[in-house]
Amino acid sequence: MALITERIDQTPRIPPACRRAVLPAPRSVKIEISPRCNYRCGFCALRTREE
C-alpha cells in the first residue's frame, strides 16, 4: 500500500477525463451481500450489542 505522501504526489497525474464535473462511470463497484459486520471496532456501537 502506498504511503500518503506517495498518493499525494500522484494527484497531478490524475487523467483529465477524471477531473471534469461529470465523471466517467467507475470500472468496478463493491456490492455488500449482507449488512452483517463481523468486526468489533472500538469506535462502533455494534461491538456493544449482544449476539
Note the pLDDT of residue 5. Answer: 85
Note the pLDDT of residue 48. Answer: 67
- CB neighbours of 26 closer than 8 A, spacing ≥ 6? none
Q: Mind spelling out the 3-state secondary structure of the chain? A: CCCHHHHHHCHHHCCHHHHCCCCCCCCCCCCCCCCCCCCCCCCCHHHHCCC
Q: Could you tell me the pTM of the whole model? A: 0.28
Confidence class for position 46, pLDDT limits 50, 70, 90: low
Residue 34: all three cell numbers together: 449482507
Confidence class for position 47, pLDDT limits 50, 70, 90: low
